[in-house]
Amino acid sequence: MRIIIDCDPGNGIPGANVDDGLALALALAAPQMSLELITTVAGNTTSEVGYAVACDMLRQLGCTVPVCRGAAHALLEPAGPWRERMDTSVDDVGLRYLWRGVTPAAKAKVSPPTAANAIGELICNNPGVITLVAVGPLTNVAMALRLFPDMAQMVKRIVIMGGVFNVPGYLKDTNFGIDPEAAHVVLTSGAPITVVPMDTTTQTQMTHADLQRLAGVDNPITRYLNVTMRPWIDYSMRTRGLPGCWIHDALTIAWLLDPTLCDSESDYLDVALEGVARGATCRYGKLRVNVGVAAPRGAPVQILTKVDNARLLALIERYLQKRA
Instruction: State the pLDDT at residue 70.
Output: 96
Among candidate residues 183, 170, 195, the one with its CA nearest the CA of residue 248 = 195
Nearest-5° Cα angle at 83, 80 to 86: 150
CB-based contact 160:203 (threshold 8 Å): no
171/165 Cα distance (integer angstroms)? 8
Phi then psi for residue 158, to 5 deg, are -110, 120
Among candidate residues 279, 245, 239, the one with its CA nearest the CA of residue 89 = 239
Instruction: State the pLDDT at residue 112.
Output: 84
24/44 Cα distance (integer angstroms)? 15
Taking only the tens place, the pLDDT of each residue in 96-110 is 999 999 988 888 777
Residues with Cβ within 8 Å of 45's Cβ and at least 6 positions away in sequence, in order, are 8, 9, 10, 13, 16, 53, 86
Angular region, 188: left φ>0, alpha ψ -120 to 50, beta rest: alpha
283/295 Cα distance (integer angstroms)? 12
Instruction: State the pLDDT at residue 277.
Output: 93
Per-residue pLDDT of the chain (324 residues; tens, 9 = 90+): 999 999 999 999 999 999 999 999 999 999 999 999 999 999 999 999 999 999 999 999 999 999 999 999 999 999 999 999 999 999 999 999 999 999 888 887 777 889 999 999 999 999 999 999 999 999 999 999 999 999 999 999 999 999 999 999 999 999 999 999 999 999 999 999 999 999 999 999 999 999 999 999 999 999 999 999 999 999 999 999 999 999 999 999 999 999 999 999 999 999 999 999 999 999 998 777 878 788 888 899 999 999 999 999 999 999 999 865
Instruction: State the pLDDT at residue 323.
Output: 64
Question: What's domain 2-322's architecture?
Answer: Alpha-Beta Complex (3.90)
Nearest-5° Cα angle at 29, 176 to 243: 55
Exposure string of 215-250, with b = 16+ CB inside 10 Å and e = fewer, is beeeebbbebbebbbbbbbbbbeeeeeeebbbbbbb
Distances (CA, A) of 265 to 68, 161, 188, 220: 33, 15, 17, 37
In terms of residues, how long is the chain? 324
